[in-house]
C-alpha cells in the first residue's frame, strides 16, 4: 500500500531484511513461520507495516521416494486463484534498492500433511482485507494465520520436469507430466 491504496508490484523472491549488510551471506528466506514472524528480527518490522498478498493459482510440495523427489501440485478445488499472506521489504545498502518478499507458513492441514508438516498461509477474502489493513495491530492477525481448510484444496501428482530450474510453462502442472 502506498498512501493507504492497494497497488500491484513485483518483488524479488527471497526476503532481504532492511538491516542486512550483504545479501550474499544471507540464507534464501522464502518462508516466514507465522507463529514467530512477530518476534523474529528478520521479519518483525515488515510484519508490522509491510504486509502483502502473493497471488497464485497453485503451489508444489515434494514426496520423497528413495532418491526421487516427486512433485505434487496443490490448487483450489474450484481452480480459482488465491492469495498467500506475504511480507515485503526494501533493502537500500547496494547500488540499487531491492524490494523483496516472502510468504508465511503455518501448520499443514490434513491434505498437505501427507507430504509436509507446514503449508503456506492461504487467506480467504475477509482475511485478505484484514491482512492488508495498516491499522490492524499485528497481535490481531494471528487468528487468520491458520491452515486453509483441506476441503477447499485439491492436489495431483505432476511430472518431474518441474524439478528443473529452467523449465517453465503449462507442462509443469500437467498431471503426472503428461
pLDDT at 21: 87
Task: Find the angle CA(159)-CA(58)-CA(6) to the nearest 5 degrees.
Answer: 150
* Number of residues assigned to the chain: 178
φ/ψ (deg, to 5) at 94: -105, -165
Q: Which fold has domain 12-173?
A: hypothetical protein yedk fold (3.90.1680)
9 contacts 98 by C-beta, under 8 angstroms: no
| pTM for this prediction | 0.92
- What residue spans define the domains of the chain? 12-173
Instruction: Print the SS3 string covering the chain.
Output: CECCECCCCCCEECECCCCCCCHHHCCCECEEECCCCCCCCCCHHHHHHCEEEEEECCEEEEEEECCEEEEEEEEECCCCCEEEEEEEEEECCCCCCEEEEEEEEEECCCCHHHCCCEEECEECHHHHHHHHCCCCCHHHHHHHCCCCCHHHEEEEEECHHHHCCCCCCHHHHCECCC
The Cα–Cα gap between 97 and 95 comes to 7
The whole-number pLDDT of residue 3 equals 60
Q: What is the pLDDT of residue 1?
A: 44
Report residue 132: phi and psi, to 5°.
-85, -10
Tens digit of each residue's pLDDT, the chain (178 residues): 456 678 899 999 999 999 998 888 888 899 999 999 999 999 999 999 999 999 999 999 999 999 999 999 999 999 999 999 999 999 998 688 999 999 999 999 999 999 999 999 999 999 999 999 999 988 899 999 999 999 999 999 999 989 888 889 998 999 885 5
Amino acid at each position: 500500500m502506498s498512501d493507504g491504496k492497494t497497488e500491484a508490484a513485483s518483488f524479488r523472491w527471497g526476503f532481504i531484511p532492511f538491516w542486512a549488510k550483504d545479501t550474499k551471506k544471507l540464507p534464501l528466506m522464502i518462508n516466514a513461520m507465522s507463529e514467530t514472524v512477530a518476534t523474529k528480527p528478520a521479519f518483525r518490522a515488515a510484519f508490522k507495516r509491510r504486509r502483502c498478498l502473493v497471488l497464485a493459482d497453485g503451489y508444489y510440495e515434494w514426496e520423497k521416494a528413495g532418491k526421487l523427489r516427486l512433485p505434487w501440485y496443490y490448487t483450489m478445488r474450484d481452480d480459482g486463484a488465491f492469495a498467500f499472506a506475504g511480507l515485503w521489504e526494501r533493502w537500500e545498502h547496494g547500488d540499487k534498492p531491492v524490494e523483496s518478499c516472502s510468504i508465511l507458513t503455518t501448520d499443514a492441514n490434513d491434505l498437505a500433511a501427507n507430504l509436509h508438516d507446514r503449508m503456506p498461509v492461504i487467506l480467504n477474502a475477509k482475511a485478505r482485507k484484514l491482512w492488508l489493513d495498516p491499522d490492524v495491530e499485528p497481535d490481531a492477525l494471528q487468528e487468520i494465520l491458520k491452515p486453509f481448510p483441506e476441503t477447499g484444496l485439491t492436489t495431483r501428482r505432476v511430472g518431474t520436469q518441474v524439478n528443473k530450474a529452467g523449465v517453465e510453462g503449462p507442462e509443469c502442472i500437467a498431471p503426472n507430466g503428461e
